[in-house]
Amino acid sequence: MNFTPAPANDFREFIDQYFRRCRESCSRIVAIAGKWTFEDLIPGLSDFDTRFILQDPMAPEDWMAMSLAIGRVHTGMAREFPQWARNLEHLPGLNLTVAEITNPLLYFPEFQQWTFYGGDASAITQIRSVLAKRQWSHRDELYHLRKIATFIGPYQRGIDPPVNLGAWEGKYPLHSRFMHYFAPPVQSAVSLASGGHFSGKLLALRTARDLFQDSEVIDVLLDALKRHYELPELYSDPPQAQLEKRLEETLLIIWRQLRDHVTLTQVGPDDSSTDVRKKVAAIRQHPADAFFESIKFCRLMRGRLLFYAEDIPWFDSAWLIRNELGRMRANFFDKPLTAYGVARFNETLPATAVLDRLTGELFNNAEVEAMHRFARVLETPVTPGDERRLARQIADIFDPVLRVLEMLNVSMMTHCQKQETSP
């Protein structure tokens, strides 16, 4: 195989440029963070999962304006810097105000895996202090158990296609297997075993190598990263299939060593990957947590869809659009409304029934109809070549959906606060 050598690591330059331009476009941005640590960003292969922290308060209209503004910045940079197409795979995902990220009701364990790269020092210090003081909880354990359950089992070829990788596309098969499907559950296993969070994937892998028995395949992974995946013998079968099997078996071996560290389910010595998924799926999640988790990516979604709808010759968005549309109805309609119904009415109701109950109380008829229209459009099959048109269509009707979700968010928080203070 002919490998393209690793490019220079310009992630720091990219982050600084992106933050500066986004802040110029939206002055309410306080800080920029990204998932994992800097050493986990592999040049040529990693994207950058941006998270923004905003000043309080942010009304629905503020989020709408920000979504369009950041979308314009994102599009402009994608046109100006073709070499950053991979970095710019999507707009910032999870965006919160300072009050939200420090509010215990809205705590999400992923916060512990963020690295802050710039912004207001006092706000960042406040956020870090609040997160550092949190005690390990049911939420943390369930988050990491679900991460393991998501990735344990055979690697599903074709599930993680190479997109916008340019000259380094040929190296993606190993990057996908190692950093996208093996490292995250190992990171969660190390967190469970230590009762604390490991923000870095590579730090967690190095720790796991010493913490768990029979995890020697981690040495193969770390060596592959040092070589920027230039190991030609691992790109064809049978060696690649054997590697996949070894990774799968190692995750099960690690799982079985968590017996004394897991409290929410039983870790059996003979558990299969199917057993793990069934056991974790049976653990009850608080409906408020399920609600907040499902809507967390809604705030900049319109800008994300409009960016994907742009015609940028060196940016392929077709698969990215299909991926987003495949989960939007669940995340922004079915799951949040059902979870709200459980929390508020103590009933498991269809999303449409929850909307009916809230008509005239939280929402007017136009807002309810906007939600129904959104759900109907998402039922449209995505035909090849029609992705951009459908992305624009959904973007055009998304503002009322965002407004409804933000109103639901406020109502859910108010309900939870009342529950906490009631005798």
238 band by pLDDT with thresholds 50, 70 and 90: very high
Residues 316-351: tens digit of each pLDDT = 999 999 999 999 999 999 999 999 999 999 999 999
Please answer whether residues 306 and 103 qualify as being in contact, where contact means their C-beta atoms are separated by less than 8 angstroms. no
Compute the average pLDDT of residues 16-21. 98
Q: What confidence score (pLDDT) does residue 384 get?
A: 96
Give the DSSP per-residue string, 40-96: G--TTT----EEEEEPSP--HHHHHHHHHHHHHHHHHHHHH-GGGTTTTSSS---EE
143 pLDDT above the threshold of 70: yes
The 10 Å Cβ neighbour count of residue 359 is: 14
Q: CB neighbours of 188 closer than 8 A, spacing ≥ 6?
A: 143, 144, 145, 147, 148
Residues 188-213: tens digit of each pLDDT = 999 999 999 999 999 999 999 999 99
Residues 83-108: tens digit of each pLDDT = 999 999 999 999 999 999 999 999 99
Give the pair of three-digit tokens for residue 232: 């030609």
In whole angstroms, what is the distance from residue 423 CA to residue 418 CA? 10
Which amino acid does the sequence have at 122? S
- SS3 of 332, please? helix
Give, as one character, the DSSP assignment of residue 283.
S
Separation of first and last alpha carbons in the chain = 68
Please answer whether residues 136 and 196 qualify as being in contact, where contact means their C-beta atoms are separated by less than 8 angstroms. yes
- SS3 of 33, please? strand
Residues 226-235: tens digit of each pLDDT = 999 999 999 9
pTM over 0.75: yes
Residue 190 Cα distances to 184, 187, 251, 260, angstroms? 10, 5, 12, 13
Identify the residue with better confidence: 72 or 420. 72
Burial of 413 (0-12, 13-18, 19+ CB in 10 A): middle
Give, as one character, the DSSP assignment of residue 35.
E
State the average pLDDT for the chain: 97
Q: What confidence score (pLDDT) does residue 339 get?
A: 98
pLDDT more than 70, % of the chain: 100
Residues 283-294: tens digit of each pLDDT = 999 999 999 999
Q: What confidence score (pLDDT) does residue 423 get?
A: 64
Radius of gyration of the chain (CA): 22
Please report, for the chain, how many H helices and E strands are present, in that order.
Answer: 19, 4
Which residues, listed in sequence order, are joined to residue 377 by a DSSP beta bridge?
A: none
Give the pair of three-digit tokens for residue 284: 């009850």
Residue 347 Cα distances to 218, 283, 417, angstroms? 46, 18, 19
Q: What confidence score (pLDDT) does residue 43 get?
A: 97
Q: What confidence score (pLDDT) does residue 419 get?
A: 86
Residues 242-260: tens digit of each pLDDT = 999 999 999 999 999 999 9
In whole angstroms, what is the distance from residue 249 CA to residue 137 CA? 28
422 pLDDT above the threshold of 80: no
Residue 128 Cα distances to 107, 213, 270, 380, angstroms? 13, 33, 40, 43
238 cis-preceded (ω within 30 degrees of 0): yes
In whole angstroms, what is the distance from residue 264 CA to residue 236 CA? 40
11 pLDDT above the threshold of 90: yes
CA 180 remoteness from chain centre: 12
User: Which residue's entry shows tokens 């705030």?
Assistant: 299
Sheet holding 114-119, edge to edge: 95-97, 50-54, 29-35, 114-119
Burial of 131 (0-12, 13-18, 19+ CB in 10 A): middle
